[in-house]
Amino acid sequence: MSDTPHSGTLARLIYMANQIARNFCALDHDAAATATADHIAQFWDPRMKAAISGKEADLSDVAARAFAILHEQGEPAPQTRATVFNDADEGGRSDAG
């Protein structure tokens, strides 16, 4: 539908990145950008990551910075406990749905 921001996959991916960034807004700008980059690195499929250059006009500042981090520095270390996963031999934790 043309009156939603999600027409086309690119628009949707930009929306998703902005939404992630917006929900890290309680952090300062750099921390929010790093957390957004971490989140995208851990949960997005390669074609989704590749689809966004970071230069898109619709990207929020924090989201744009997140892609810059991914492109320039690679995947950041875990920024929240949501992106700390079990080790190969670790039991007892779950992120069940």
Calpha distance 63→58 (Å, rounded): 10
- The answer to the question of residue 31 lying near another protein (CB under 8 A) is no
Report in angstroms how near the CB of residue 95 gets to another protein at its nearest.
3
**CA distances (Å), 66 to each of 9, 22, 61, 76, 95, in order?**
19, 12, 9, 10, 24
Structure tokens at 42: 């851990």
By beta-carbon proximity to another protein, the closer residue of 49 and 54 is 49
- Interface residue with another protein, options 28, 29, 43, 73 (CB under 8 A): 43
Calpha distance 53→41 (Å, rounded): 14
Structure tokens at 60: 């929020």
Choose one: 53-61, 65-73, 88-96; the region binding another protein (CB under 8 A): 88-96
- Binding interface with another protein (CB under 8 A): 1, 3-6, 9, 12, 16, 19-20, 22-23, 25-26, 39, 42-48, 80-82, 84-97
